[in-house]
Structure 1
């Protein structure tokens, strides 16, 4: 297809948009024209990609406008499949047993499973020969951090880069705006105060929209129960480092039997017996949990922001702004620090890997490297000039209409904006060689637009410029996240102990919370004995070694 005529048409559309103020009808015309132009049926190399991450909303990467342009720029078309359900372990084990691998795989939590099965292609030589874009955005030190601890090879380029400036706290103990406004906008930091506020509010407001007000709930569906397991560690002032906390000597310690855990579940037990805890907490699935938050009748819960964004979107679309939850940096009394904004370092979680079944791994790697090029990154994250952004004097800008659209999840999904994030990309806040930000979210226009009027009320009340400023700044650790350290198959006893301890915790924490007050201490002792018998902290020594290895690699 000749590019001359469509480009002229696009230029005319852009001129009309500028003349007529970007009306919705002209916006739609520009989008449709861009879609038509980039709907190419060229003969591309096709690779299959399987995404193991059950968090990801399925999207056919090659059929969106962004995806089609990526194919045009790279010469590669992806045939993408996503895991069905949330049992990543079972799916990975089946793939390994049958050796039915796609060309490319994003293994998520099952990297160690595929690595142990020798299912993945080392990338070291390809990076040296063809990785010019990868070496531009990953330093030698960062590449060393991605080396497999067993054989020292690199099998993926992690997509878990340093964050952009945070718009919202990464996690926290939430309360609705209505509650905070009614109390005069206090910053809640005390564990006891937080739960007392909930108790008092529910007593004064037992019904919301003809349904019982829920004092506190928690997410317990499948692997997402980690939020219930991890909350005590946050209350003790620690960041999310998986199932352990790390001391000043870089030694890992499981906190599952800590005094923090005892105290937190004891409080939830108190709430259960007073009728303030969600009675469906241990039986509802993730969708039901989000629906309850979206109903506006839940007062308190702990979670990470990304898991509740769908519920917040529902509340916003219904204009029920006073029930939108706001995160608070709650800690136990006597704790002086908190880490709810998490850790801001490059993680080492798995990105896209090439499998042994790929017939042309060299071309596959060249495609992965091309995904890290500036011309592809501009399309992936910005979209199309004149449609998704404008350029004035070389600077990328976002009109009000464009800002509105990139904040619309349906539009972003349909267009495919940002949908290739599993592939290599720079840190948040990075800039292209022309001085423009890699990510629109880092621009001043985006930051100013993102907050809605009800959020601006919160910002003004707390004298903040960012909602994330309710919490301490993100931490930088010399060892990364820790939660992304996989236990290899070469450590079967640790893996077995971890699984057994997780099963025991899931069962007993529910029993502890739902027990009578008189039963709590006896059940806790029973729980502790079973966890110790299972070797609940067997991974501590291994994780300590890995933490110290990471520090040594980073310091090379």
Structure 2
């Protein structure tokens, strides 16, 4: 695979991830007429015209497929209940009835496997290896060859990697391959140390680069405002989101989010930061803050909703987290600031904090997530219609539809062909509108261009990555603080990401029950057992608790885990040359 593929890359999205029930077995060779819109064409700038241009000359019989998404917390619906989904149904005759996870993912997938009956399409999220091992997904190679010209165009550069990961066959389509030129996100949707803007304003907008500087900034502000009952720092530990508390050591050491390992960019050697001095230093920092009554002890019992509520309470001075995970809180704070500029003080600002203050890698490099995606199951009644729908979705025009919407309604085009949104259009894109229109439904869990991709005409696929949209979305408070730091975007506060062909390492497939998967499970259990003890211990007792933690951690085969990861990463680097 060409090296340039990885240089182009994509912004990973973490992540993070249907019931006209069908039965019977299908080997993937079912025949259906391909929709006329299955060939790629340059974006016309008019998604409303796409439905007419792409519709089959002879209307296809309408069909509803069941679609299970193994991610909780989203609304179940039929895609044709949304504007985008109805337009796509008009083109293809296909509707999907989407069911999202309720309860435990492994239990839900296990029940499907035990019955050997599946929805037509599954996004198994973290249980994808179990679905593959059960033989629930059908190979897609022949279907793609027969019905997928756009799939071949978009995913073709990745086929070698996809087949190498899964025994020479393609069983599912991952989300977000890079298409066109790479365009950086001007916002910070990845990791950062966040602090209220009023803290920076009062301190004279200092350049904060080290963890010690960040902690002192927080301590000094709380000390000056004792009457406000402020919380210095908070962390998120609820359920699978525990990584918001356990990931900082790798970022503080100057590495991107590769999961459980930090990978040397020169030697490709993988080392875990669990049980390391980096982890110890981070936890000792939280322990010291707790000893000074500056850390929220409830961080270890609060759920996600309680965490978000605290971030919008104006009482939390700082925290570490990923921008995509705090989006709900940031939207509330920014909406308030738009209505009352004084409220801008409570909006959070991202800082690229490291231990030594020299080189940060918070921004994701171009990457390829190979262990998440959507597959067609052996229960599917007409795999060809599903693959045709996906292929039709991958035209430039339909990528414009799912991301930008309809010209004249949710975006405009200037005389140079550049897409933009008016202030009124931006204002109406609230949760209710996005849900009804389909922007939420078609946001991520489909075969699609990567977020950092560009269209054939040079426009960004993601509206938020388009400079014209980003600048118009800024509040007066945004403009003021960016100007104080001499930048035009938040991303310019951070170092540019380095090219890492394996990124993100966490997406390298691991079989359920493998030594690597067992190591991760045991390690996670240890962290959840000891982190609260370490952070909430009396400062004088910290070393003793750390010794207990390391004694148990030493029982894990960490050397074997690191050796396996290093071997996998070096294989990927060879493929990418």
Q: CA deviation at 1:401?
A: 1.9
Query: Which blocks of at least 5 consecutive residues in structure 2 are unaligned?
Result: 1-47, 338-342
Contact kept, 8 Å, 2:367 with 2:503, in 1: the verdict is: yes
Contact kept, 8 Å, 1:159 with 1:349, in 2: the verdict is: no
Equivalent position SS for 1:456: helix
1:339-379, CA deviations, whole angstroms, 9 ceiling, x for partnerless residues? Answer: 11122223324221111111222222122211112332232
Q: Which residue number in structure 1 is paired with residue 291 of structure 2? A: 273
Q: Which residue number in structure 2 is paired with residue 361 of structure 1? A: 383
Contact kept, 8 Å, 2:404 with 2:463, in 1: the verdict is: yes
Q: Which residue number in structure 2 is paired with residue 495 of structure 1? A: 517
Contact kept, 8 Å, 2:186 with 2:465, in 1: the verdict is: no
1:414-443, CA deviations, whole angstroms, 9 ceiling, x for partnerless residues? Answer: 211263232222244544445554333343
Equivalent position SS for 1:105: strand
1:24-63, CA deviations, whole angstroms, 9 ceiling, x for partnerless residues? Answer: xxxxxxx9xx9xxx9xx99512111111123656554321
Equivalent position SS for 2:511: coil
- Which residue, 232, 246, 267 being the options, matches 2:249? 232
1:535 counterpart = 2:552: no
Q: How does 1:281-360 map to 2 (within 5 A)?
A: 281-319=299-337, 320-333=343-356, 336-360=358-382
User: What is the RMSD computed on CA atoms of the aligned residues?
Assistant: 2.4
Q: CA 1:45/1:139 → structure 2, altered by over 3 Å: closer, same or farther?
A: same
More divergent stretch after superposition (386-395 vs 322-331): 386-395
1:294-325, CA deviations, whole angstroms, 9 ceiling, x for partnerless residues? Answer: 10111111000011111111222333221111
Contact kept, 8 Å, 1:144 with 1:554, in 2: the verdict is: no
Contact kept, 8 Å, 2:399 with 2:449, in 1: the verdict is: no
Q: CA deviation at 1:290?
A: 0.6
1:122 counterpart = 2:107: no
Q: Which residue number in structure 2 is paired with residue 20 of structure 1? A: none
1:194 counterpart = 2:214: yes
Counterparts of 2:176 and 2:498 in 1: how far apart (Å)? 15
Contact kept, 8 Å, 1:494 with 1:539, in 2: the verdict is: yes
Counterparts of 1:149 and 1:138 in 2: how far apart (Å)? 15
More divergent stretch after superposition (260-269 vs 397-406): 397-406
Q: How does 1:11-22 map to 2 (within 5 A)?
A: none
Query: Which blocks of at least 5 consecutive residues in structure 1 are unaligned?
Result: 1-30
Equivalent position SS for 2:95: strand
Counterparts of 1:196 and 1:391 in 2: how far apart (Å)? 47
Q: How does 1:441-456 map to 2 (within 5 A)?
A: 441-456=464-479
1:157 counterpart = 2:173: yes
User: Could you say which structure has the greater relative contact order, defined with CA pairs below 8 angstroms and 6 or more residues apart?
Assistant: 2
- Which residue, 47, 69, 89 being the options, matches 2:65? 47
More divergent stretch after superposition (474-483 vs 535-544): 535-544
1:466 counterpart = 2:489: yes
- Which residue, 415, 418, 423 being the options, matches 2:437? 415
Contact kept, 8 Å, 1:343 with 1:480, in 2: the verdict is: yes
Q: Which residue number in structure 2 is paired with residue 144 of structure 1? A: 160
1:217 counterpart = 2:239: no
Q: CA deviation at 1:286?
A: 0.5
Counterparts of 1:155 and 1:59 in 2: how far apart (Å)? 25
Q: Which residue number in structure 2 is paired with residue 168 of structure 1? A: 187
Counterparts of 1:257 and 1:397 in 2: how far apart (Å)? 48
Counterparts of 1:144 and 1:310 in 2: how far apart (Å)? 38
Q: CA deviation at 1:196?
A: 1.2
Counterparts of 1:469 and 1:161 in 2: how far apart (Å)? 24
Q: CA deviation at 1:380?
A: 1.4
Q: Which residue number in structure 1 is paired with residue 536 of structure 2? A: 514
Q: Which residue number in structure 2 is paired with residue 203 of structure 1? A: 223
Contact kept, 8 Å, 2:393 with 2:399, in 1: the verdict is: yes
Equivalent position SS for 2:99: strand
